[in-house]
Copies of this chain bind each other. A is one copy, B any other.
Amino acid sequence: MRQAGRSLPEYRALRKEGSILDAIKKPDIAAEITLQPIRRYGVDAAILFSDIVVPVHAVGFGIDIEPGVGPVTENPFRTAKDLERLRDLDPIADTSYVIETIKICVDELRIPLIGFAGGPFTIASYLIEGGPSRTYKETKKLMFDNPKLWGQLMDRLTAICTSSLTSQIQAGASAIQLFDSWVGALSPDQYIRFVFPWVEKMFEEIGKTGVPKIHFGVATGELLQLMSDVGADVVGIDWRVPLDQARSRVGGGKALQGNLDPGILSAPWTAIEAEVLKVLELNDGHPGHIFNLGHGVTPDVNPDVLERIVHVVHQYRVGQ
């Protein structure tokens, strides 16, 4: 469960009030935050504590994370000149702290560690919009207005993400997850034209390492088949698409991840349990299923609830 640590008191005690990017840059802190939810919940894999903007921040684009807002940049990406702010990532020189964090985690863990990166559309949208957006209209304007520049931007972001993911795998990550979180803002035709070729290239490159590739976004019901065809091994599903429906779109030979609605985690336990069981029942014993939420955990969630969910899932698995 991504961001499962955010609601833990031990996380807040460790993070305090500082910038999340500062915490990510301290391997001992970042590793401890990665491990906290594992100790608490006994889940079956860990996901690196990091952020999708880490690589573009590291190459000096000029992007920060504003608490309560998200990624923000004072000088949004607008012209070919802005490409100069997106040089190649040298993972050793630029993000040694990520590599160090992974090594500490892998030494401690007896379960797989999942590395990750932000998908190129989602990262591009932050660079172009200057912050979170509801309409993505500057992003779409650039796509259609200057497809050449869009292609160059996607080339840069694909190269940066590929380097980052490769270095995470070399450091010991057993799988990777590409969070193209906001790509569901595109129609299938827009996805095919403006995103697919770059993610395909990235997954081809990452595929050479042999590690499984998980691919996730929200409101992607109409894109699931494309997000599978682009080269993912596992497709993450938000809570909108029932799991059986998702499986028919994604096609055979692929696994699914999801898809408990994170919006119900403040509901009474009996309601949550019923929703957990519904996900498991819709999966109908299919071996290709990673139980997960359909999106990240919000900071207000009671950790006991997450613990009970893990227990129900594990008991169900034993019962099968």
Q: Do B185 and A144 touch (CB < 8 A)?
A: no
CA distance A241 to B271 in the complex (A): 31
Binary B-proximity of A170-205 (CB < 8 A = 1, otherwise 0): 000000000000001111111000000000000000
| Contact of A245 with B264 at beta-carbon distance under 8 Å, contacts A137-B298, A240-B187, A271-B145 already known | no
Across the interface, which residues of B come within 8 angstroms of A140, CB to CB? 261, 263-264, 266-267
Does A38 sit within 8 A of B, measured CB to CB? no
| Contact of A144 with B222 at beta-carbon distance under 8 Å, contacts A240-B184, A242-B187 already known | no
Across the interface, which residues of B come within 8 angstroms of A141, CB to CB? 264, 266-267
Task: Kindly identify which residue among B186, B242, B267 contacts A145, using a CB–CB cutoff of 8 Å.
Answer: B267
Across the interface, which residues of B come within 8 angstroms of A135, CB to CB? 262-263, 298
Task: Kindly identify which residue among B187, B222, B266, B278 contacts A261, using a CB–CB cutoff of 8 Å.
Answer: B187
Which residues of A43-75 are within 8 A (CB) of B? none
Q: Do B222 and A185 touch (CB < 8 A)?
A: no
Q: Smallest distance from the beta carbon of A124 to chain B beta carbons, Å?
A: 14
Q: Do B137 and A265 touch (CB < 8 A)?
A: yes
Chain B, Cβ-Cβ closest to A143: B267
Across the interface, which residues of B come within 8 angstroms of A265, CB to CB? 137
Q: Do B222 and A242 touch (CB < 8 A)?
A: yes
Chain A's interface size range is 35 or more
Give the interface SS of chain A, mostly helix, strand, loop or mixed: helix
Does A77 sit within 8 A of B, measured CB to CB? no
Given contact pairs A135-B263, A144-B271, enumerate 16 new A-B contacts (beta carbons under 8 Å): A136-B263, A137-B263, A137-B264, A137-B300, A140-B261, A140-B263, A141-B264, A184-B219, A185-B263, A187-B239, A187-B240, A188-B242, A189-B242, A189-B278, A221-B240, A222-B242
**Interface hub of A186, A188, A261 (most chain B Cβ within 10 A):** A261
**Interface hub of A144, A184, A245, A272 (most chain B Cβ within 10 A):** A144
Give 11 A-B contacts (CB < 8 Å), ordered by A residue: A135-B262, A137-B300, A143-B267, A144-B268, A145-B268, A187-B240, A187-B261, A188-B242, A219-B219, A219-B240, A222-B240
CA distance A265 to B137 in the complex (A): 8
Chain B, Cβ-Cβ closest to A223: B240
CA distance A137 to B266 in the complex (A): 7
CA distance A34 to B263 in the complex (A): 37
